[in-house]
Amino acid sequence: MSQKEFQRVKVIENAAGGRLSVREASRLLHLSERQIQRLKRRYQPDSVDWVQHGNRGRSMPWAISVPQKQLIVTWPAASMWASTILI
């Protein structure tokens, strides 16, 4: 967990517990009051998974697959090798 996520957990924990107002929490985290309310709704006291983004660890849908990457990396070397034989 990053320092930013740890700070978010502590501030939202205090806001959910009533020790901080939504306005104070929004100022501390540099977020809107609406975003603080959304984070308070997602808050789970027994877990910190609510802090992490849902797409964390997933690859991008437009990312090149591993076999394609390997083909791209090996292709120039193979073509250079073939050109030196033909010369």
pLDDT per residue rounded down to tens, the chain (87 residues): 788 888 989 999 999 999 999 999 999 999 999 999 999 998 888 887 787 777 777 888 888 888 888 887 777 665 666 556 555
- Residues across the chain: 87
* Residue 49, in any domain of the structure: yes
User: What is the pTM assigned to this prediction?
Assistant: 0.60
CB 43 within 8 A of CB 33: no
pLDDT value of position 87: 52
Domain contains 78: yes
Q: Is residue 38 part of a domain?
A: yes
Contacts (Cβ under 8 Å, ≥6 apart) of 7: 28, 29
Distance in Å from the first CA to the final CA of the chain: 56
Q: Which residue range is the domain that position 7 belongs to?
A: 3-53+63-86
CA count, 13 A, side-chain hemisphere, 68: 4
Neighbours of 36 (CB within 10 A): 25
